Amino acid sequence: MGIKTVAVYSLPDYRAMHVKLADEAVCIGPASPRESYLNIESILKVVKDTRAEAIHPGYGFLSENGAFVTMLEEFGVTFIGPSAQAITFMGDKLQSKRLAKAAGVNTIPGFDGIIQDADHCVEVSRQVGYPVMIKASAGGGGKGMRIAQNDCDAREGYRISTEEATTSFGDGRMLVEKFIEKPRHIEIQVLADKHGNVIHLNERECSIQRRNQKIIEEAPSVFLDEKTRTSMGEQAVSLCKQICYSSAGTVEFLVDQNRNFYFLEMNTRLQVEHAITECITGVDLVHQMIRIAKGHPLQLKQENVSIHGCAIESRVYAEDPFRDFGHPSVGRLYQYMEPTHLNKVRCDSGMEEGSEISLYYDPMICKLVCYGSTRKEAIETSIKAMDLFVIRGVAHNIPLLRDVLTEENFLKGSISTDFLKVTYPEGYKGKQVSHCEKMKLSAIAASFFAHNDLRSRMFLNARVGQVKGEKPSSWSTVVKHCDLEVPVRVMKVDNAFEVEINGKIFTIRGDINLALPVLELVVNNEQCVVQLLSKDEVGKFSLIYQGTTFNVFVMTEVAARLSKFMLEKPKKDTSKIIASPLPGVIRAISCKVGETVVVGQKVCIVDAMKMQTALVAVAAGKVKSIHVKEGDVVNEKDILVELE
**Full DSSP string of 205-250:** EEEEEETTEEEEEEES-SS--HHHHHHHHHHHHHHHHHTT--EEEE
The mean pLDDT value for 289-299 works out to 97
Work out the mean pLDDT of the chain and round it to a whole number. 92
Q: Please tell me the predicted confidence (pLDDT) of residue 468.
A: 54
Cα pseudo-dihedral 67, 73, 76, 79, rounded to 10: 80
pLDDT attached to residue 195: 97
Stretch 540-546: mean pLDDT: 95
* Residue-level pLDDT at 460: 67
Q: Is the pLDDT of residue 170 over 90?
A: no
Catalytic residue among 173, 204, 269, 402: 269
Question: Across residues 610-615, what is the average pLDDT?
Answer: 80
Give the pLDDT band (50/70/90) at residue 141: low
At residue 462, does pLDDT exceed 70? Answer: no
Mean pLDDT over 484-511 rounds to: 94
Residue 599 pLDDT > 70, yes or no?
yes
Task: Using the predicted structure, report yes or no on whether residue 126 has a pLDDT greater than 70.
Answer: yes
Peptide bond into 131 cis (omega under 30): yes
DSSP character for 619? S
Chain center to CA of 492: 43
Residue 578 bridge partners (DSSP)? 641
Could you tell me which residue, 238 or 330, shows the higher pLDDT?
Answer: 238
pLDDT of 465 higher than 70: no
- The pLDDT-based confidence of 461 (bands split at 50, 70, 90) is low
pLDDT band, residue 168 (cuts 50/70/90): confident
% residues pLDDT > 90 (the chain): 77
Q: Which pLDDT tens digit goes with each residue over 397-443?
A: 999 999 999 999 999 999 999 999 999 999 999 999 999 999 999 99
Q: Which residues lie closer than 8 Å to 381 by C-beta, 6 or more apart?
A: 342, 343, 344, 345, 370, 371, 372
* CB distance 97 to 263 below 8 Å: yes
| pTM, rounded to two decimals | 0.86
User: CA 549 → CA 150, 287, 315, 375, 542, distances in Å?
Assistant: 39, 41, 19, 27, 7
Q: Looking at residue 554, what is its pLDDT? A: 96
Buried b (16+ CB within 10 A) or exposed e, 305-317: beeebbbbbbbbb
* pLDDT tens profile 191-246: 999 999 999 999 999 999 998 899 999 999 999 999 999 999 999 999 999 999 99
- Contacts of residue 519, defined as CB under 8 A and 6 or more positions apart, other chains included, come to 510, 511, 512, 513, 529, 530, 531, 532
Read off the pLDDT of residues 179-194 as tens digits, 9 standing for 90 and up: 888 899 999 999 999 9
Residue 563: what pLDDT? 86
What is the per-residue pLDDT for 464? Answer: 57
Catalytic-residue membership of 463: no
Instruction: Say how far apart CA 191 and CA 293 lie, in whole Å.
Output: 12
Residue 558 scores a pLDDT above 80: yes
Indicate whether 361 pLDDT > 90.
no
% pLDDT > 70, the chain: 97
Query: pLDDT band at 567, cuts 50/70/90?
Result: confident
Question: Is the pLDDT assigned to residue 349 strictly greater than 70?
Answer: yes
Tell me, what's the pLDDT at 611? 74
Judge residue 449's burial from the number of C-beta atoms within 10 Å of its C-beta, 0-12 exposed, 13-18 middle, 19 or more buried.
Answer: buried
